[in-house]
Chain A
Amino acid sequence: MTNYFQKRINQWSLSVIIILFIINILNIIYNTPMVPDQHWAQKIFYVHVPSAWVGFLSYFIVMISGFMYLTSRDNRWDNIGLAASEIGTFFISLVLITGPIWATPIWGQPWVWEPRLVTTLILFLIYIGYFMIRAYGGYIERMKRNAAALGIVAFINVPIIFLSVQFWSPDIQSHPQVEMTEQPSEILSPFIFSLIVFTMLYTVMIRYRVYVIHLNNGMNEDV
């Protein structure tokens, strides 16, 4: 049985992503401009937004995997769903941590009722329930079906959750955001680079995690 990182392509992809990630961090620290009124706190933006992108992408994959598992009953889709939910929750946790870190010096308080943050928090809570279903959902085969259904239900509600929070109270939402397309290139370019690096990192993480889950399941089968 070949170890995952004995394969050339996996070695290369891990090496490349480590190098790119280091470059990304150094780029953020040294190359990105210092925004006058936000200083160092603004640099969290280059981690916060890509983490959110990866988190939501991951949850989207949970939804697709859930649908595919219910229709095909192929355990590989459940493995992908589980891996995506774990990694997605990791990145979403990162969003919920970096958000308040960014907000505190900018708006003077750690939490703001901004639609994206609140949507992220609600989704995070739903996925706590998802992991509880995985833990307490009964025997494994039934648990997989329930988790797949919840993964579908959770993500299809994301646009609704976002819209409701957005219209909830515009006066509470003190989030002076500048649209990404209107950002100057010295901010936009490193941001796009960070987004790409995070997406590549996610790809490596999910491939490896699916491999480990598959290995784990294979060792536990046919008792």
Chain B
Amino acid sequence: MLSVQNISKAFNRKKILKNISFSQKEGESIVFMGRNGAGKSTLFRIIARLMTYDNGSIIFQGKNLLKVKPIHSSKLFYLGHSPGMYHPFSAIENLNFLLSLRKIYKDQLEILDVLDQFGLMESANEPIGVYSEGMLQRLKIVCAQLMDWDMILIDEPFSNLDKDGLDLVQKQISFWRSQNKTISMILHNKNHAKNICDRILTLESGIIK
């Protein structure tokens, strides 16, 4: 599914990632762990084509991501640390927009149903600018559930969540795993990682240990 080979990235000439290489099979779940500033988010942003890299290659579903247009990585979905949505828009409007960007057409009832599952039904029509951090985190997972992807990159899926939110997101990730989806996550808590991944990779000083 994904093959990352010798990816390096420098910020202000300081190497953050040094020849990172790993592979991920279809249906496999990997958790990336490491200290703050280890380069985990940077690695995800590079794979998601949000950030350039200095050398190496990324092969996704047989295609070199650097050499193909973004349309060929439509089955790769990235959820960053920030919401990635527009604060004047409501949850429904944001979701409709993001779905139409990927040419996915969903029934409004289906969208509302998923929002309801994550406890966001009541505030579905309010601008997300008034949402709490926890609500925004849930909304991101709703977005991921509605999208059509084969592989997802999630940066800290459990951040800012209360106990109910944690359970909901854990269940969602387990559901995706049962659907044989390929998942990569960044986590800080090994307890969270225990039951939701096939292996853990630790990033330290720009290399995978």
Contacts and interface: CB of A to CB of B under 8 A. Distances in A.
Report A-B touching, CB under 8 Å: yes
A44 B13 CA distance: 44
Interface in B6-34: 10-15
Contacts of A145: 52
A138 to B, nearest CB: 9
A221 B52 contact: no
A73 B14 CA distance: 17
Q: How large is the interface on B (under 10, 10 to 19, 20 to 34, 35 or more residues)?
A: under 10
A222 B15 contact: yes
Interface in A197-223: 217, 220-223
Nearest to A219: B13
Contacts of B10: 140-141, 221
A148 to B, nearest CB: 12
Contact of A220 (B11, B13, B54): B13
Nearest to B55: A73
Contacts of A217: 13
A73 B52 contact: yes
A135 to B, nearest CB: 13
Interface string A128-144: 00000000000111000
Q: How large is the interface on A (under 10, 10 to 19, 20 to 34, 35 or more residues)?
A: 10 to 19
A223 B13 contact: yes
Contacts of B13: 140, 217, 220-223
A217 B13 CA distance: 9
Nearest to A75: B54
Contacts of B14: 223
A217 B12 CA distance: 11
A195 to B, nearest CB: 39
A141 B15 contact: no
Contacts of B12: 139-140
Contacts of A223: 13-15
Contacts of A141: 10-11, 52, 54
Nearest to A145: B52
Contacts of A221: 10, 13
A141 B10 CA distance: 8
Interface in B43-84: 52, 54
B12 to A, nearest CB: 5
A140 B52 CA distance: 12
Contacts of B52: 73, 141, 145
B15 A139 contact: no
A71 to B, nearest CB: 12
Interface in B131-170: none
Nearest to A222: B15
Nearest to A140: B12
B43 to A, nearest CB: 16
Contacts of B11: 139-141
B49 to A, nearest CB: 15
A180 B32 CA distance: 68
A144 to B, nearest CB: 10
A69 to B, nearest CB: 12
B166 to A, nearest CB: 34
22 contacts: A73-B52, A73-B54, A139-B11, A139-B12, A140-B10, A140-B11, A140-B12, A140-B13, A141-B10, A141-B11, A141-B52, A141-B54, A145-B52, A217-B13, A220-B13, A221-B10, A221-B13, A222-B13, A222-B15, A223-B13, A223-B14, A223-B15
Q: Which 6 A-B pairs have the closest CB atoms?
A: A139-B11, A223-B14, A140-B12, A139-B12, A220-B13, A221-B13
Given A221-B13, A222-B15, 18 more contacts: A73-B52, A73-B54, A139-B11, A139-B12, A140-B10, A140-B11, A140-B12, A140-B13, A141-B11, A141-B52, A141-B54, A217-B13, A220-B13, A221-B10, A222-B13, A223-B13, A223-B14, A223-B15
